[in-house]
Each structure stands twice: as structure tokens, then as C-alpha cells.
């Protein structure tokens, strides 16, 4: 269901510069052509990403949070510029256009209405909020079509090159089977306790590197229910496990063991046990989809260039 959120992805990028432990007092953090962006607006978008900052080091945590705030503010400035241009050009989107786009999203993902609403709920979104995001995206697209020239003719060579560069998009049945050894870190753990838990994890990792069997180590040391299965978690599709865990698991070759990976659950040692469905759908069978993806990609490039031009001719004052 990850592609369901393509239309929303550009609006949910990260942004930066204040610690979550600091008191939040609403104030103006940026002025874009005399229109204000407040700290509370930035905080609203930052909040979901704060949980992804997992580190015991206070300085590192502050730096990561600062980067999140910076990127969020940058995105909100861009959104403000877009809204201003949409308003200036009087761009309107009808409810029929929004509904048609919604149906296309469901069709491309082979999703029912219930599937869509469940996926949105997992992201903390309502259907109406998602429709608003679609409306904004369609306004942006109209703005680009009016303001930016995009080559509508594309040759077979360009499409095949795009297909090869983005081959992962066309592997719909890919799944992977990770195993792990988990050392749980309680939420109330002190820095000293966290350090001690990490050292235990490191000791087990060194045993595995020295030749001890991963499954045996999982059986003896893992604090997860999968320990009875020698750490085997079974098969998953992309997007079903927490990002930090999945990134590391998919980086591994089958049979390879990771270093120590930290998630909100604790410290993991991961082994990739198997991977299936790596064969992509042949180009001829997805040519129409490749063409649509290609134009979406070109539109994004054109949009970034357009935003750059807007910023150059605008008066933007950052106060964060």
C-alpha cells in the first residue's frame, strides 16, 4: 500500500532547529512574501518524525532534531510559495477531479475503499484530509502545466532506461525473511542501562562472528517471541516492518548478518534468511505504467526547478 501515498509523499518530507524538550511558545519562524509561518505549524509536521530519532547521545539527538526542523520549515516555505502562486493564478479543482484521482489511486494499487481507508488510518489520516492533499497536488500539477514546459513525447529508449534505473518499482511480489536477536531497551532505561544492554548485544554479535550459530544464539539470548523459532520472523513485504530494521535487512545478502541495529524496541542483530520475488515484471507488460512513472518523475524535476525560480524572485525571511 505504500504507493497509495505517492500523492502525499512530497508534502510529508522532513524539516529544522529546536529540541523536543524545549518549551514551545508560538512565534513567527518565517515570512514568505509577507505571509507568516508559525512555530506551531512547524511543530505539527515535526511531531511524527521525532519518534524516529533514536540515540542516547544528547548532542547527536539535538543535531538530528535540528535537521528535521530545518527540512520541515523548508517544505512549509515551498508550500506557502505554491499556495501563493495557485491563488494568484486562480487555479480551482473540482470535486469530480479529486474523486477521479482517488479512483485512479485505488486502481493502480488494486485497493478497495476499505483498503485505502485502513492504510490512511495507519498514517493518522482521514479520507477527507487525504482528499484535501489530492486537491493541493492537482493544483500544483495544473500550476506546473501552466508554468513549465514538459516534453510530452518520449522514445522507447528513454522509457527502457527509466525502467532499468527504477527496476525495484516493478517487483510487486518481492518479500524477504529476516531473523533477529533482540535485546529489549525499556523506555525508562537510563543511559547507563542502555549502554549495558548494548554491550550484551555486542558480546553476542562477536560470538556469531567467531562462528557460533545465529539460530542457537537467538534461542539463548533473544528477548523476542521469535527466539523459539531461532530468531526466524517469517516473510514480509516492503513497508511492513519498522524502517530502521527493514533498511538494514534489505541491505544484507541472503545469509549475511548485520551489525547492531537500534529501533524503538531495542538493539537487534539481523540475519537475512531468504528473499523472494526479485524478478521484475517484463518491460512490455508494464510499459504504460513506466510511461506514467516517467512523466511523474519529469514533472517532479520541473517542479523543483520551478520552485527554485520562485524562491529567487520571492522575499523570504527565516527566523527559526
Coil vs helix vs strand at 128:
helix
102 shares its domain with 181: no
Top mean-pLDDT range of 8-17, 91-100, 169-178: 91-100
Q: Of residues 182 and 51, which shows the higher confidence score?
A: 182
The answer to whether residue 170 sits within a structural domain is: no
- 3-state per-residue secondary structure call for 3-17: HHHHHHHCCCCCECC
Number of domains in the chain: 2
Q: What is the pLDDT of residue 150?
A: 72
Place 61 in a pLDDT band, splitting at 50, 70 and 90: confident
Q: What is the pLDDT of residue 9?
A: 38
Q: What is the pLDDT of residue 303?
A: 81
DSSP state, residue 7: H
289 shares its domain with 253: no
22 shares its domain with 146: yes
Lowest-confidence pick of 42-56, 62-76, 87-101: 42-56
133 shares its domain with 247: no
The answer to whether residue 94 sits within a structural domain is: yes
65 shares its domain with 200: no
Q: What is the pLDDT of residue 144?
A: 76
Q: Average model confidence (pLDDT) for the chain? A: 86
pTM over 0.85: no
What is the arithmetic mean of pLDDT over 94-98?
95
Place 76 in a pLDDT band, splitting at 50, 70 and 90: very high
- Contact between 109 and 3 under an 8 Å Cβ cutoff? The reply is yes
Domain carrying residue 41: 2-165+281-318
Distance of alpha carbon 310 from alpha carbon 141, whole angstroms: 15
Q: What is the pLDDT of residue 110?
A: 84
Q: What tens digit of pLDDT does each residue of 186-224 get?
A: 988 898 999 999 999 999 999 999 999 999 999 999 999
Whether the predicted pLDDT of 290 surpasses 90: yes
- Give every CB contact of residue 103 below 8 A, 6+ residues apart in sequence: none
Proportion of the chain above pLDDT 70, given as a percent: 90
What is the arithmetic mean of pLDDT over 236-265?
93
Distance of alpha carbon 32 from alpha carbon 78, whole angstroms: 9
- 78 grid coordinates: 515551498
The answer to whether residue 106 sits within a structural domain is: yes
Annotate 21-89 with DSSP letters as a single string: TS-----EEEEETTEEEEHHHHHHHHHHHHTT---S-HHHHHHHHHHHHHHHHHHHHHHHHHHHHHHHH
Question: Can you give the CATH number for the domain in which 264 is found?
Answer: 3.10.50.40
Amino acid at each position: 500500500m505504500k504507493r497509495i501515498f505517492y500523492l502525499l509523499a512530497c508534502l510529508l518530507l522532513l524539516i529544522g532547529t529546536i529540541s523536543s524538550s524545549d518549551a514551545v511558545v508560538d512565534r513567527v519562524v518565517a515570512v514568505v512574501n509577507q505571509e507568516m509561518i508559525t512555530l506551531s505549524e512547524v511543530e505539527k509536521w515535526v511531531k511524527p518524525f521525532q519518534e524516529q530519532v533514536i540515540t542516547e547521545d544528547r548532542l547527536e539527538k539535538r543535531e538530528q532534531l535540528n535537521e528535521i526542523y530545518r527540512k520541515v520549515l523548508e517544505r512549509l516555505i515551498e508550500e506557502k510559495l505554491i499556495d501563493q502562486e495557485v491563488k494568484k493564478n486562480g487555479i480551482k479543482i473540482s470535486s469530480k477531479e479529486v474523486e477521479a484521482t482517488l479512483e485512479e489511486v485505488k486502481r493502480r494499487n488494486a485497493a478497495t475503499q476499505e483498503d485505502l481507508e485502513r492504510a490512511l488510518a495507519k498514517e493518522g489520516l482521514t479520507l477527507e484530509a487525504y482528499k484535501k492533499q489530492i486537491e493541493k497536488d492537482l493544483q500544483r500539477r495544473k500550476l506546473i502545466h501552466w508554468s513549465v514546459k514538459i516534453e510530452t513525447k518520449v522514445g522507447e529508449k528513454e522509457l527502457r532506461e527509466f525502467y532499468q534505473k527504477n527496476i525495484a518499482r516493478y517487483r510487486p511480489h518481492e518479500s524477504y525473511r529476516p531473523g533477529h536477536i533482540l535485546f529489549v531497551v525499556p523506555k525508562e532505561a537510563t543511559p547507563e542501562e542502555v549502554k549495558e544492554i548494548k554491550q550484551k548485544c555486542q558480546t553476542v554479535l562477536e560470538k556469531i562472528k567467531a562462528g557460533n550459530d545465529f539460530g542457537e544464539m537467538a534461542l539463548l539470548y533473544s528477548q523476542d517471541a521469535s527466539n523459539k523459532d531461532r530468531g526466524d520472523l517469517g516473510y514480509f513485504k516492503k513497508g511492513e516492518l519498522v524502517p530502521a530494521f527493514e533498511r538494514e535487512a534489505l541491505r544484507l545478502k541472503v545469509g549475511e548478518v548485520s551489525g547492531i541495529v537500534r529501533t524503538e524496541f531495542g538493539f537487534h542483530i539481523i540475519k537475512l534468511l531468504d528473499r523472494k520475488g526479485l524478478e521484475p515484471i517484463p518491460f512490455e507488460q508494464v510499459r504504460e505504467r513506466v510511461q506514467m512513472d516517467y512523466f511523474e518523475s519529469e514533472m517532479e524535476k520541473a517542479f523543483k526547478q520551478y520552485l527554485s525560480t520562485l524562491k529567487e524572485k520571492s522575499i523570504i525571511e527565516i527566523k527559526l
